Every structure is written in structure tokens, then in C-alpha cells.
Amino acid sequence: MTDKLKLGLAGIGTVGSGLLRLIEARGKSLSTRAGRPVEVVAVSARNRRKKRGVDLSGVRFVKDPIALATDPEIDVFVELIGGESGVAKEAVEAAFRAGKHVVTANKALLAHHGASLAALAEKNGVTLNFEGAVAGGIPVVKVIREGLQGNEISRVYGILNGTCNYILTLMEREGRSFADVLKEAQAEGYAEADPTFDIGGFDTAHKLALLTSLAFGTRTKFDAVYVEGIETITPADIEAADDLGYRIKLLGVALRTDSGIEQRVHPTMVPKDTAIAEVDGVSNCVAIDGDFVGDVMLIGPGAGGGPTASAVMSDIIDIARGQILPPFGITTKHMKPYKKAQMRAHEGGYYIRLSVYDRPGAFAAIAQRMATQGISIESIVQRRPEVAAGRRGGPPPTAVVMVTHQTTEDAVRKALVAIERDGHVAAKPQMIRIEKL
């Protein structure tokens, strides 16, 4: 058996601690699979004395992550600090310049700087592995980068954030409000004290940007992702979706089109009879459409110390075996510039919920605004009156649910702005895309 593969680990939080426990528990079998022993020889963390439930007595502590990244005793720098810039980025760049391989689970860093970091790794003859950055324990990076290389991928989409999926699942099962379920998710540890990054869709967008580059061979372009979170989803929307034969999920969707690449993150109504509709709780799901393989779907734990540590370790074993691949499947000189797709009609149509005042001419005015934008309505349902009182003590507004035929988002948004401006609705209109899967 050859020399040890020596790791320098920066960041001993949930994932870092999980990685240390995995190596401790599986040391002998890891050596067999990797073809050489794998050992963490040095670590870096903000708080040296914090109890983490792992034995660090034989591991050297390095205060500065950048110093650890260039330490002559390590072969691989494992970056689990997080953050799109700052010390995480500086340490990774320093590791490459020092000829060290890098393994990271930092989706934000790669979504913003993936192509430039990959180029730096290639320049210095080392690798950048990031299986743990997307969908936790689901091996989607390897599937796209290695398993599906014979395919032209037309679409990749999925549930990429467990916090949002957990909240939407409980809202549906128990009929509770978004705010109420969010509090429970925070208490259970499924949501952060400041949950904006998750519920606002930004975590999903970072992961989608990486999947887009892997699937379509383009440079990462996080700023091109349209992002919409789940904060506006109400029990009324979930009930209406159920009546219409759908469930609501926060999806990240990337499409290859004739005019360019389309990337979007938003709440979506998916048919109840599809596999993705059945993915509940904190689980993640990634679906890939290839021309020869057909449709591939991967489902599993999308976060947490154990699953993500498992992904990180798979990257480490690849390095131990001498498997050095371009980070995004092709060399950076062959990665195409990102070209944003032109706006087109959304094939699945749209769900629209309006809180309409009960007065003469209101429905006619709404219908006219839709017609002006060329929007054809597939169905319209008047639901029970809402609890809130109408304007000036009048009758309560009525919830009206419409489903459109195929149309553009621009047309829908223009119509809704005009409807709201006309004053016939008591609240901001709700719009959710219906996805054909």
C-alpha cells in the first residue's frame, strides 16, 4: 500500500465533524477502497476549544486556514468553511497555487467563482472536487460528470433545499400557515435563525448554477438565475393545488433551449402522479433528461453531517486513487460562455389566485386585462369568501383561482400589475407556475 493521503481540514462544523467521525469509523475499509490510508493531519477552526464529539488529540491545529491550505505536510485541502468570498476563497486559491488538491462543499463559492477556480486548479495540475456542494448525499455531480458523458442533456431540475421541502410538506399535511411551520422548522433545527438564504430560494439557486454548468458545459452564471422563494405560499394555495391535482414544491429548473440557457428557482405546481411530487420532508431530488439515457431521477438526503460527509469522502477517495478530472467535466477552455435564453411561452401555464371584491364590473375588468395580454384561461373557479372583511365594511372578497393555457411570464405579470392597479383585488395577486414533468 502506498503512502498516506494527508488531509488538512478547514471548518469543523456539522459537515467537518461528520467527516472526522466517518474516517474514524471506516478507517480500515477506506484505506482498502482508496488504495492507501487516508488521514486528517491538521485542522483549522474559529474556536479551538469547542466540543465537537470527535477526538482531535492527535491532530495538529492551525489557526489560519490559508496557512493550512499551503502547509507542506498536507496533500489535500478540505474546505468546509463556507461563504462565497473572503477566507474560504483565499484559502482555496492558495491551496491550488501550492499544488494541493481541493475538496469543498461550498456551493456559494463555486456558484460565483467556479470557472476561475477550476482554471486555477487546471493550471497547477491539481483537482477541484465538490460532490458535497449539491444535494448532500446524492451523488449527482458524479452522475452528470462521469456517468452521463455520452448524453446531451436538455434539462436538469429538482428539489434542492430540504428546509423548503419540509415546510411545504407540513403546510400540506397539517393545513398550517407558512409562518407557523417555519417556527417549528427552526425549533427542530431544519431552518436557521435567519432562514432567508433557504426560504428565499438562494441556496437552491447556488446549487442550480453548478448543475447548469455540469449539464450544459457553460461557465457558472449565478446572476442569471431567476430566484423566487416560498414566503408567499398560503394554505389557500396548497388547498387549491390539491383540488387541481397538484402539489407545490420549490424547484430549481435549468433548460437548454435554441436561444440559450434558462435557469429559474420558484414554487411550482407539479402533478400528484409524478415521482417528484412524492418527495417529502427534508429529502432532495434531482432529475436529468438525456437524449440517449432518457430520464434519470436521484432521490435522497440533501443535507446534514452524515450525508454531506459521505459525499466529501467520495471526492477524497477519487484523489487517493489518482483520479483527476476537470471539475465541470470538460476543461475550462472548452466551457462555453453563458448565454441567457430569450423569453418564451411556459408550457405548463400558470396558476393565479386573486382576492376579488364583490362588486359590479370587477370580473369583467379582470377578464379584459387578461385578454389584452393575450392570455387564454383554461379554467376559473370561485372559491369560498375569504375571512377578511371587505373594503368599508362590505362583503368579504372572494378567492378566485384561474389556470391559464400556455403563455409567457411577461404577459401574466403585466396583466396582474394592471389588475392590482385597477383596485378590484384586496391583496397582491398570487402566481405559481405549473410544470410539465
- What pLDDT tens digit does each residue of the chain (437 aa) get? 469 999 999 999 999 999 999 999 998 999 999 999 999 999 999 888 788 788 888 899 999 999 999 999 999 999 999 999 999 999 999 999 999 999 999 999 999 999 999 999 999 999 999 999 999 999 999 999 999 999 999 999 999 999 999 999 999 999 999 999 999 989 888 888 899 999 999 999 999 999 999 999 999 999 999 999 999 999 999 999 999 999 999 999 999 999 999 999 999 999 999 999 999 999 999 999 999 999 999 999 988 899 999 999 999 999 999 999 999 999 999 999 999 998 788 888 999 999 999 889 999 999 999 999 999 999 998 876 655 444 455 678 999 999 999 999 999 999 999 999 999 999 999 999 999 88
In angstroms, rounded to a whole number, what is the distance separating the alpha carbons of residues 178 and 373?
A: 32
In angstroms, rounded to a whole number, what is the distance separating the alpha carbons of residues 167 and 45?
A: 32
Grid cell 449539491 — which residue?
Answer: 134
Side chain identity at residue 213, one-letter code: S
In angstroms, rounded to a whole number, what is the distance separating the alpha carbons of residues 268 and 286?
A: 15
Residue-level pLDDT at 390: 44
Residue-level pLDDT at 436: 83
**Closest alpha carbon to 401 in 375, 381, 378, 428:** 381
Residue-level pLDDT at 385: 61
SS3 assignment, position 398: strand
Residue-level pLDDT at 393: 56
What domains sit in the chain, N to C, each tagged with a CATH number? 5-133 (3.40.50.720), 140-301 (3.30.360.10), 350-434 (3.30.70.260)
CA angle 202, 206, 211 (to 5 degrees): 140
φ, ψ for residue 254 (rounded to 5)? -125, 130
Give the DSSP letter of residue 263. Answer: E
φ, ψ for residue 282 (rounded to 5)? -90, 5
Side chain identity at residue 430, one-letter code: Q
Residue-level pLDDT at 394: 65
pTM of the model as a whole: 0.94
Residue-level pLDDT at 1: 44
Task: Give the HSE-up count for residue 296: Cα atoms under 13 Å, Cβ half-sphere.
Answer: 20
**Closest alpha carbon to 4 in 38, 31, 48:** 38
Residue-level pLDDT at 391: 47
Strand partners, 407: 346
Side chain identity at residue 180, one-letter code: D
Q: Which residues of 109-133 are buried (b: 16+ CB within 10 A; e: fewer)?
A: bbbbbbbebbbbbbeeebbbbbbbb
To the query of whether residue 207 is one of the catalytic residues in this protein, the response is yes
Which residue in 207, 272, 339, 414 is the catalytic one? 207
